[in-house]
Amino acid sequence: MRMDRGAFLIATACAAFASACSGANEISKPLLPVDPKEPVFAAAQNKELFYDGFEGFTSSAQLATYQSVYPDRYATAGTGINLTSSGAVAGQKAVRFTYPASSNQGNELLEVLSTADNDPAAVVVTFWLRSQPNYTWWSGSGVGGQAHKIFIANISGAPDGNRILLEFDRSGIEPTELNACFPGLEFLPTPTWSIGPALYKQNLALGSWSVLTNANDGQWHRYTTRFQKATVRPSTAQGNGRIEMWVDGLKIMEYIGDDPSRCEYGLVSVPTVRLVPNLHFPSVNGAVNATQWLEFDDMRIWSP
C-alpha cells in the first residue's frame, strides 16, 4: 500500500524521534495537491546537516541558553523566544517568536550553528511555519519599505553576496533582466529569496497560493526550498544555480539558471561557498504594527 505524503512526513518524524509522536497534535490544515518532485528527506538516502523539532528543550529559558541541549548550537534572544506546546506539527513542542509593537528594530534570533564537514552541491531547507492570523508580514514596515525576515543563513563571517534570506516581501525582482522573464512580479507581496543583491520572488501558482491569504491564516504550512549551487558565478547577481520552492506540496517558485533554453539562464545566483554554515531565524528588520508572533517546528537542512 502506498503511503500518502502527509502521512509519510509524520511517520518519518515519529520513526526518527520515537517519543515525539506519542500524543502528538495533528497538522491543522490539509495539504494542497502534492508535487511528486518536491524533495522529501529519507534518512537512509540523504545527509542531514541540521535538524531541530525543539523536543529536546524543557523550557523557554533553556532554549535561550548558550549551548544548551546541543553543544554546537546556541540562541541569542530577547524576551521574545518561547517554547510552546500549543499545537506543534509533530511531537509536543514548537518555538514561538513574539514581536511587540515598536518603532525600533527588534532582532529576536535563534542562531543555530552547523558543524557539518561536507559541502554538498545541493541543499534542501524544510520547515513548518505559522503566524498570527491576518497579520501582513509583507506590510512594508521593515527597513527600506521591505518586509520581515523569515529565514537567514550565512550571516556570520560571510559577505552579503553569500547571505541567503527569505522574506514575505513587496520588493522588486533582481537582477533586472529577470523582469523580462517574469513580467508583473515586481512589487507583488510574495515569498522572496534574497541572495546578496539578487531577489527571487514567487513566480508559480500565484492563483492557488498567496502570501496574502494562505501564509497568514494561523495554520501550519510546510516550506521546502531546494538550492543548487552555481558552478559559474561571474557576479553576485548572476550565476547558473537553481532555486525551487514548495509550500504545502505546491510548487511556487522555479528559477533554473543552468538550462540554456530558459529565460533566466545565467541569472540565478546561488553561493559557490558552503551554502549554510550557520543560520538565524527569524529576524524582524523594523517595527511590526502590533504584537505579533511566528512559530517554527521541524526545521531540517539536508543534502539530497
CATH number at residue 180: 2.60.120.200
Q: What is the pLDDT of residue 79?
A: 64
Q: What is the pLDDT of residue 76?
A: 66
Q: Cis peptide leading into 277, omega within 30 of 0?
A: no
- Domain containing 158 equals 5-303
Name the domain count of the chain.
1
Q: What is the pLDDT of residue 60?
A: 87
> With b meaning 16 or more CB within 10 Å and e meaning fewer, what string describes 17-55?
beebbeebbebeeebbebbeebbbbeeeebeebbbbbbb
Q: What is the pLDDT of residue 288?
A: 63
Q: Where are the beta strands (DSSP E) in the chain?
A: 47-52, 81-84, 94-99, 110-113, 122-131, 149-153, 164-169, 190-195, 198-201, 221-228, 239-240, 242-247, 250-256, 267-268, 278-281, 292-303
Q: What is the pLDDT of residue 170?
A: 82
Q: What is the pLDDT of residue 2?
A: 32
Q: What is the pLDDT of residue 289?
A: 65
> What does residue 112 show for φ and ψ, rounded to 5 degrees?
-125, 130
User: Which residues lie across from 272 on neighbouring strands?
Assistant: none
Nearest in space to 101 (alpha carbons), one of 150, 149, 135, 64: 135
| Matching residue, cell 523566544 | 81
Q: What is the pLDDT of residue 138?
A: 64
SS3 breakdown of the chain: % helix, strand, coil, rounded to 5?
10, 35, 60
Q: What is the pLDDT of residue 273?
A: 76
Q: What is the pLDDT of residue 98?
A: 80
Q: What is the pLDDT of residue 14?
A: 38
**Whether 245 contacts 222, CB under 8 Å:** no
Nearest in space to 286 (alpha carbons), one of 149, 160, 169: 149
Question: What SS3 state is found at 7?
Answer: helix
Residues 6+ apart with CB under 8 A from 76: 64, 109, 111
Averages of pLDDT over each 10 residues, the chain, 304 residues: 36 35 39 78 91 90 81 68 86 85 58 71 93 73 55 61 81 89 89 89 93 88 94 80 95 96 94 76 62 87 91
